[in-house]
Chains A and B, each alone.
Chain A
Amino acid sequence: MHFKTLTSPHVLGETSVGQVMRRVLYAMVPGATALIWFFGWGVLVNLAVATVVALMAEAAMLAVRNKPIATHLADYSAVVTAWLLAVALPPLAPWWMTVIGVLSAIVVAKHLYGGLGYNPFNPAMIGYVVLLISFPREMSSWLIPQGIGQAHALSLIETLQAIFNGLLPDRLAADALTGATPLDALRTQLGLGLAVADIRNSPVFGIVAGSGWEWAASGFLAGGLWLIYTRVAAWQIPAGLLSGLAVISTIFYLIDPQRYAPPWFHLWSGAAIFGAFFIATDPVTASTTPRGRLLYGAGVGVLTYIIRSFGGYPDGVAFAVLLMNIAAPTIDLYTQPKVFGARRG
């Protein structure tokens, strides 16, 4: 009897790219839910718009590049990019900003560089940075979280009006609705010569690092820990990033607590947690060796702090990730593990 001959291994595990990407989406649910709770319908609308645009852009680019569309759409990578970008956008960002961001991510940063697996830069962060540089004012006007501001005052219909037509209900003034994020506020007021302790007395700063924000960060932390438990994300990157950020912020905090925010504020505010578990862990653009991942994460953490404290933007995770993306191949080259049976040294 004749048989097919294929080479070993003849059995494979159950994992697939689609499964990996879907797990990232599941892990984002707690954090995204917290964001919706505190900042209203806008977050959900952004997620929906980004998802639809990303899938359309992905399908169009796959068609242009002559790739199997169904197979690649089923890998969910475009949806992950869309979600990562959408939760980073201000809840009332006009729809066309979301579209521009997603197109920059999917068309330019992903497919023009060769598609899944070949992009040197994190697509979601490219989309985010394009928007941040092009529309700095819109990107920095976040809603004031529920409990302090009136985000929940907007119904779903009113939110859709605001996002698609740029119309706010007459009863609400734009100033009452939006405000600076805690990181942004800290930065502006430090510039005015105020001390950190005084600035942080404002209710917007919450218990640790910003009302609402700290809950979202906790949600992303929970999801992120699950990602590490399921081995979708490498533990070294978040560990490196958070300890890098913690170490450098502690050093400066000890030098001058009046001018530098405490490490727990830095760890819990902005995109630190989210970036550590969801952005920096993007496998395609990160380092792949065990030691390299620690180094890569630490680099992102330190750069984030430097950009936050001394740079021109309130949060620096996106730029830090992109900068370390360029360094990843070099880090990989110099952090190769010792091969089994190789001589030490």
Chain B
Amino acid sequence: MSGLFPFHGGLKTVRHKTESNQQPIRWSALPHRLTVPLRQHIGAIAKPLARAGERVLKGQMIGQPDGYISAAIHAPTSGKVIAVEQQPVPHPSGLPDWCVVIESDGEERWVERQAVDYRRLHPSEVRNRLRSAGVVGLGGAAFPSAVKLNPSGHAEALETLILNGAECEPWITCDDRIMRERAAEIIAGLHVIAHLLEPREVLIGIEDDKPEAIAAMVAACAGTGFAVRPVPTRYPSGSVKQLVKLLTAKETPVDGLPVDVGVQCFNVGTAYTIYRAIEFGEPVISRTVTITGHVNQPQNLEVLLGTPFSELIAQSGGYRDGVERLIMGGPMMGFAVHDDGVPVTKATNCLLAASAAELAPLRPVMPCIRCGACVDACPANLLPQQLYWHARAKEFDKAQDYHLFSCIECGCCSYVCPSHLPLVQYYRYAKNEIWAQEKEKQKAELARQRHQARLERLEREKQERDAKLRQKRPRHARWRWKTRLTKPSRPIAPRRLRPRPNQRLKLASGAIESPCTLKR
């Protein structure tokens, strides 16, 4: 077997896998009310198909994909739609988003499901089925899978298909449990992916701290030609670009995707949902979530999308004393939510209830001593200390010279920093400032163009008017003011105030018209 190709940097973090990976995945109890966000994926928000008062069946589509990069949303259980309204959702901003609120009737009546034989269907038909089943990447990014399963548009054939079972975040174990319990189903889903993409080789990357998962996957792979590759336990080996490097030695270009170097990568959970969608016609209405940290019974639950976090915590024995933060995702890259009333989405892989014991103690921030520990830890091979200086000094162009946007915000630099600088926070700030400036610039440019166009139009109108006047009074031009005085009925001025059709269009498109329009 060919070897591995370690990426630069990374961390050995303290592992907390055994807290939650000892018992099998259990189904969570059916909640009374489900709040299903219409945006659970990267891309455009789904268009709501259900109205308040309507009854829906389990698995019925309630949100239609809007555009190519979007995903369908389905009712996780049967019941009545109470509202389609803005509700709090798990997002770092804490802003609400559109959700379909369903009151379950407890009957769990399914919509009609249809299994298909993917080998007999045209690939585009398989993709359409996955698309309407709402399949997105379950590793956390929730990118619509149908887009990644479309090989057209990439001139070269796919070299390597990677199944990502690395799961490098120190507390998360949902992929571990899925691989142990549903290896055969995952491999069946992987067959569908391989059928669509026709890769030369199929590799399965799993961190070597999961021997049971590796054994199960190896057994399931027997006779398939798929190769399980245990990778060293080193955060962030589950990050797509790092895993691709680790398994294939290929570096994904700075502003590109793995497919640019002939590699495509899917999460193990995604492969499982693909299998369910094809073999059973089941859309994505649930996912496995790790509930761990400072709760009484850490575990993995199969959870209906839209279930509030608080119910999962309650089913895990409730919080232990002293929980300060509730983190969605892992401790390295996850975000803290404001409130545990928000619902589980397709991106919710883990709930980590964190007390002082799990969190980093608050320690004084010291000046950067340029020790370079961050340089050694950065998996993107950046110079985090330089990025920090420039972000802090608001020298954003220089931060970009040091490749700010190659930062994947994995948190390794902050983790190793002896001065306890919140480095990632500085990079997020710099990125946001640059995006805001970029938007400002675009706005200013648009305003400048509009102003220019307006000046030109006014000038043109003036010339046209003059030309008309000259035509009508060709000979006595110098008496014109006198004639105008004597004949005040000419409606020149009022006509100018009426907006011309093209002007009206601009106003309708939300443009800001300068106030002098009205003055003149």
Contact = CB atoms under 8 A, between A and B. Distances in A.
Chain A complexes with chain B: yes
Contacts of A5: 92, 94, 325, 335-338
Contacts, number: 176
A233 to B, nearest CB: 9
Interface stretch (A30-38, A163-171, A209-217, A282-290): A282-290
A13 interface: yes
Contact of A12 (B340, B382, B403, B420): B420
Contacts of B368: 117
B406 A283 contact: no
A116 B372 CA distance: 15
A4 B354 CA distance: 11
The contact size tier of chain B is: 35 or more
A283 B338 CA distance: 39
Interface in A283-338: 283-284, 286, 288-290, 293, 332, 336-338
A61 to B, nearest CB: 14
Contact of A284 (B8, B310, B370, B383): B370
Contacts of A16: 363, 366, 418-420
A-B residue pairs, 3 tightest by C-beta: A9-B411, A117-B367, A12-B360
27 contacts: A1-B340, A3-B337, A4-B336, A5-B92, A5-B336, A5-B337, A6-B325, A7-B428, A8-B331, A8-B424, A10-B331, A10-B358, A10-B360, A11-B358, A17-B366, A19-B418, A20-B418, A72-B366, A115-B367, A116-B366, A118-B367, A288-B386, A337-B375, A341-B251, A341-B406, A342-B253, A342-B403
Interface in A19-50: 19-20
A282 to B, nearest CB: 9
A340 B415 contact: no
Contacts of B379: 340
Contacts of B367: 115-118
B406 A8 contact: no
A343 B261 CA distance: 13
A9 B416 CA distance: 11
Interface of B: 7-8, 11, 13-14, 92, 94, 170, 241, 245, 251-254, 256, 310, 319, 323-327, 329, 331-340, 352, 354, 358-360, 363-364, 366-373, 375-376, 379-383, 385-386, 402-403, 406, 409, 411, 414-420, 422, 424-425, 428
Contact of A20 (B332, B371, B382): B371
Q: Is the interface of A mostly helix, strand, loop or mixed?
A: loop
A297 to B, nearest CB: 13
A339 interface: yes
Given A15-B418, A340-B406, A68 B335 contact: no
A77 B331 CA distance: 31
A45 to B, nearest CB: 29
Given A20-B371, A288-B370, A9 B415 contact: yes
A12 B352 CA distance: 16
B31 to A, nearest CB: 17
Contacts of A4: 324-325, 336
A19 B335 CA distance: 29
A2 interface: yes
Contacts of A77: 369
A14 to B, nearest CB: 9
A286 B385 CA distance: 13
Contacts of B310: 1
Contacts of B319: 1
A72 B382 CA distance: 29
A65 to B, nearest CB: 12
A201 interface: no
Given A3-B338, A8-B332, A341 B241 contact: yes
Contact of B327 (A10, A116, A337, A341): A10
B169 to A, nearest CB: 10
A71 interface: yes
A281 to B, nearest CB: 10
A11 B360 contact: yes
Contacts of A234: 372
Contacts of B416: 13, 15
Contacts of B13: 11
Given A3-B338, A17-B369, A19-B418, A340 B8 contact: yes
A52 B335 CA distance: 46
A11 B92 contact: no
A288 B386 CA distance: 9
Contacts of A7: 92, 335-336, 422, 424-425, 428
A75 interface: yes
A13 B413 CA distance: 10
A337 B414 contact: no
A231 interface: yes
Given A12-B414, A117-B368, A234-B372, 18 more contacts: A5-B336, A5-B337, A6-B336, A8-B334, A8-B411, A10-B358, A11-B359, A15-B417, A20-B371, A68-B364, A116-B366, A117-B367, A284-B370, A288-B370, A290-B375, A332-B383, A338-B381, A340-B7
B415 A283 contact: no
Contacts of A342: 253-254, 403, 406
